[in-house]
Amino acid sequence: MTDIEFDQNHYISFSHFLEKACGIVLGDNKQYLVRSRLTPIIKQFKCVSINVFIDSVVKGNLQHKTAAVEAMTTNETLWFRDDYPFRLLENSILNQFSNKKTAMRVWSAACSSGQEAYSIAMTTLNFKKQRPNAFCAGVEIVGTDISQEMIQRCRIAEYDQLAISRGLPKQFKSDFFEPGNNGNLRIKSQVRALANFRSINLLDSYSSLGKFDIIFCRNVLIYFSHEVKRQILQKIAACLQDDGILFLGASESISGLTDKFVMVRCNPGLYYIKKPI
Ligand SMILES: C[S@@+](CC[C@H](N)C(=O)[O-])C[C@H]1O[C@@H](n2cnc3c(N)ncnc32)[C@H](O)[C@@H]1O
């Protein structure tokens, strides 16, 4: 790639493309971020410059579009992120659903490499260890993300030592992991069996996913505009059961976006309950 200037017009057309494709709002002056995220794929596709690559994305080259969205998503995640959602699950929320006549269904929307979905699965198995009769009708955890690469990683369920070291308690490591390839650890099959993964763009329809008892939609709304957040929260409400539960990220809120939920403050943390229609 030659070091041709990344001009403002190309930055603006890339920003428009990205917001339309996946909701991510770049705002002003993020040229450095776009440049650093796109440089490896521009090299991979042997494009002569960032402007030429962006022209191709904007004209609709599917391979380039997909790679650009993959590159611009932030996949930061860890096990038991923020701790309190999993404590609340274990100490009160799971109990509420443990005698259901149908399977308890949980959705980890924007699940990245799977740590959130598998943390929910491990919490549920731990809960069931104390109460063997709980969840007789089963548990289904659905993890979704826009990134095909992340979904592939979720399905493989192998994590390197750095990923393992981020938030995973020792007991969970010894109970629920086994040796994998190249020094990695793999999630055991009893945990994997609770979860399935597929690629879903939160801007699209989720009606094919069915209804859920609990939804985790954490650390993704922060990237979107007010209007996109509002639309996503409407669609999330539509696929939650009445009295279903929603967890957002620690810095996210529904304030000014929807009146479909009631906030429940806990100490620490909070969650939302869908108002019955
Ligand atoms: C920062 S991670 C959050 C992962 C996890 N929920 C957590 O809290 O640890 C954000 C994820 O949102 C995904 N994402 C971004 N835009 C999306 C969209 N429009 N639809 C679905 N997923 C999206 C990214 O691919 C990324 O994996």
Q: What is the pLDDT of residue 277?
A: 75
The finding on whether 117 has its CB within 6 A of some atom of ligand 1 is no
- Which residues on neighbouring strands pair with residue 105, listed in sequence order? 140
Residue finishing a domain among 45, 72, 99: 72
The finding on whether 148 has its CB within 6 A of some atom of ligand 1 is no
Pocket test for ligand 1, best of 73, 198, 222 (most atoms within 8 A of CB): 73
Number of domains in the chain: 2
The finding on whether 147 has its CB within 6 A of some atom of ligand 1 is yes
Same domain, 68 and 88: no
10 Å Cβ neighbour count for 44? 9
Q: Tokens standing for 77?
A: 């995640």
* Position 67 in a domain: yes
- 244, 273 Cβ separation under 8 angstroms: yes
* Position 3 in a domain: no
Q: Is 60 exposed, middle or buried (0-12, 13-18, 19+ CB in 10 A)?
A: exposed
Same domain, 122 and 160: yes
The finding on whether 75 has its CB within 6 A of some atom of ligand 1 is yes
The finding on whether 73 has its CB within 6 A of some atom of ligand 1 is yes
* Position 1 in a domain: no
10 Å Cβ neighbour count for 16? 12
Same domain, 155 and 89: yes
The finding on whether 150 has its CB within 6 A of some atom of ligand 1 is yes
Residue the block writes with tokens 């981020």: 166
Same domain, 42 and 120: no
Note down pLDDT in tens along the chain; length 277 residues: 544 578 999 999 999 999 999 999 999 989 999 999 999 999 999 999 999 999 999 999 999 999 999 999 999 999 999 999 999 999 999 999 999 999 999 999 999 999 999 999 999 999 999 999 999 999 999 999 999 999 999 999 999 999 999 999 999 999 999 999 999 999 999 999 999 999 999 999 999 999 999 999 999 999 999 999 999 999 999 999 999 999 999 999 999 999 999 999 998 999 999 998 7
The finding on whether 1 has its CB within 6 A of some atom of ligand 1 is no
Residue 59 Cα to ligand 1 midpoint, Å, equals 25
- 215, 244 Cβ separation under 8 angstroms: yes
Same domain, 35 and 121: no
Q: Is 21 exposed, middle or buried (0-12, 13-18, 19+ CB in 10 A)?
A: middle
Residue 102 C-beta-side C-alpha neighbours within 13 Å: 6
Q: What is the pLDDT of residue 3?
A: 47
Angle made by CA atoms 270, 274, 276, in degrees to the nearest 5? 145
Same domain, 254 and 181: yes
Residue 110 Cα to ligand 1 midpoint, Å, equals 4
Q: What is the CATH number of the domain that holds 184?
A: 3.40.50.150
Same domain, 204 and 250: yes
Nearest CA to ligand 1 atom 12: 110
Same domain, 26 and 145: no
Same domain, 52 and 154: no
What separation in angstroms does the CA of 36 have from each of 6, 60, 68, 176, 267? Answer: 12, 22, 12, 37, 40
* Position 78 in a domain: no
Q: What domain range is 121 assigned to?
A: 84-274
Is 0.85 surpassed by the pTM of this model?
Answer: yes
Same domain, 58 and 26: yes
Question: Which ligand 1 atom minimizes the distance to the CA of 200?
Answer: 21
The finding on whether 192 has its CB within 6 A of some atom of ligand 1 is no
Dist. CA 122–CA 153, nearest whole Å: 18
* Position 77 in a domain: no
Nearest CA to ligand 1 atom 7: 77
Same domain, 114 and 13: no
Residue finishing a domain among 37, 72, 107: 72
Residue finishing a domain among 27, 52, 72: 72
The finding on whether 23 has its CB within 6 A of some atom of ligand 1 is yes
The finding on whether 163 has its CB within 6 A of some atom of ligand 1 is no
